[in-house]
Amino acid sequence: MSLRALGPVEAVPDGGSAGYEAAAGGFTGLFAIRRGADIRVYVNACPHIGASLDWVPGRFLSADGQHIVCAIHGAEFSIDTGACTSGPCFGDRLESVMVQIRDGIIFVPADAGL
């Protein structure tokens, strides 16, 4: 499987998030959330209407940092599973992306978000 590097783990603040542009030829970017050594990566698209989730570039979390929030309609998603816990897409989930960490760099499949 071909991988692409998103960047260093340290570029994602602990307890925060970071956004990444779509891969070449892709339409949808990705975002990462970090909690200590745990990194979760999701496709940056709300399952309700497909719009980007971030309020401003790179900001995907609720004020208390406990949920992913869609900027369009306020739907909330579990950080751990990507499941929508409230809002018009209740029961749907974000598309999760496999993550590998190598030498402090976040890698994802090259076709993630295409």
Asked whether the beta carbons of 65 and 14 are under 8 A apart, the reply is no
Residue 48, token pair as written in the block: 């309700």
Contact status, residue 66 vs residue 78, Cβ threshold 8 Å: no
What domains lie within the chain, and their CATH numbers?
A: 3-109 (2.102.10.10)
Which parts of 9-99 fold into alpha helices (H)? none
Indicate whether 26 pLDDT > 90.
no
What is the pLDDT confidence band of residue 105, given thresholds at 50, 70 and 90?
very high
Q: Express each pLDDT in 66-78 by its tens digit.
A: 999 999 989 999 9
pTM given for the model: 0.93
What percent of the chain is predicted at pLDDT more than 90? 78
**82 has a pLDDT exceeding 90:** yes
Per residue in 31-78, pLDDT (tens digit) is 999 999 999 999 999 998 878 999 788 899 999 999 999 999 899 999
